[in-house]
Amino acid sequence: MHYDAAAEELRGKLIGLGEKSIRKSYYPELQRRMDELERLNAELEQRVADRTAQLAAANKELEAFCYSVSHDLRAPLRSIDGFSLAVLEDYGQLLDEEGLGYLNRVRLASQRMAELIDGLLNLSRLTRGDMIKQEVDFSAIAGIVAEELKHRFPDRTVMVIIKPDMKAYGDVGLLRTLLENLLGNAFKFTAKCANAVIEVGSTLDRESGQSVLYVRDNGAGFDMTYADKLFGAFQRLHTVHEFPGNGIGLATVQRIINRHGGKIWADGTVNQGATFFFSI
Ligand SMILES: Nc1ncnc2c1ncn2[C@@H]1O[C@H](COP(=O)(O)OP(=O)(O)O)[C@@H](O)[C@H]1O
Ligand SMILES: [Mg+2]
């Protein structure tokens, strides 16, 4: 209301004085302010550009560091694995059962470490590769990944329900990796479930009102107290004895979501299943 009244008053004055004379008397001041605004704007843009460049450089350095560390760790590991195998093969008969057991544990541990390093390398490659965003048939990719999993675990009876015609805007390869991890987890964590049901669908998020996708299963679930740990590299809420794995999957998924500018969160109940919601 105040604004309207002031505008009306100004309009009256303008008519009274004539636009030209007003422009003339205010022009130098107006010009000065506009120049100042332009300068501030340019300065701000430059600062944002500088910070973005710094951040990108730091990120790149960190990625390169992670890559070379994981890469360099593999060589000594291959030696440990290779030479312990040589001892087993060439001197195995000289060792008693306990000695053989220790050596086998050395080999198992080095193989597990190799798996972890591979996981790290994959994770770091994921952030380095190029990304091509386009509209993709999310339902179709989910279908392909689910078929592959059924094929890989022929002994399992899993009902997979995929909502048809779900679309997403993103990189096909990365979205496939995302689904391989989420559906792979859903398969794994329903392994002890008599009637495993996995669902890939979409729903409206109550908080944002946005459409979000989800992967749901009725498997082992998890304790929500530790939900914030799920997406960290090497973080696992189940032991290797309960369910095998290296804890890289959800960290990978989180990176893919980050690269798409989306969000991911999880909901779970012990022994009642888990749902992973995400926007992309
Ligand atoms: N569908 C799921 N149901 C229950 N727990 C899950 C599920 N998906 C992931 N988790 C929990 O999150 C942890 C991290 O998952 P992930 O990074 O994929 O590692 P991994 O599959 O190697 O265990 C898992 O170890 C498990 O504790
Ligand atoms: Mg996994």
Query: Given 74, 96, 129, which residue is the final one in a domain?
Result: 129
Give the pLDDT of residue 90: 96
Query: Given 129, 153, 183, which residue is the final one in a domain?
Result: 129
Q: Is the CB of 162 under 6 A from ligand 1?
A: no
Q: Number of structural domains, the chain?
A: 2
Q: What single-letter amino acid sits at 239?
A: T
Evaluate whether 187 touches 198 at the Cβ level (below 8 Å): yes
**pLDDT tens digits, 11-48:** 676 666 665 666 667 788 889 999 999 999 999 999 99
Distance, CA 79 to ligand 1 centroid (Å)? 31
Distance CA 75, CA 70 (A): 10
Nearest to 256 by CA among 185, 173, 199, 186: 173
Pocket test for ligand 1, best of 160, 222, 223 (most atoms within 8 A of CB): 222
Distance CA 34, CA 132 (A): 40
Evaluate whether 77 touches 112 at the Cβ level (below 8 Å): no
Distance, CA 248 to ligand 2 centroid (Å)? 7
* 176 pLDDT tier (thresholds 50, 70, 90): very high
Pocket test for ligand 1, best of 116, 120, 182, 185 (most atoms within 8 A of CB): 185
Distance, CA 196 to ligand 1 centroid (Å)? 16
Same domain, 120 and 144: no
Distance CA 122, CA 233 (A): 12
As a three-state string, the secondary structure of 68-94 is HHHHHHHHHHHHHHHHHHHHHHHHHHH
**pLDDT tens digits, 180-210:** 999 999 999 999 998 999 999 999 998 888 9
Q: State which residues form the domain around 91.
A: 1-129
Same domain, 139 and 275: yes
Q: Is the CB of 247 under 6 A from ligand 1?
A: yes
**pLDDT tens digits, 140-172:** 999 999 999 999 999 999 999 999 999 999 999
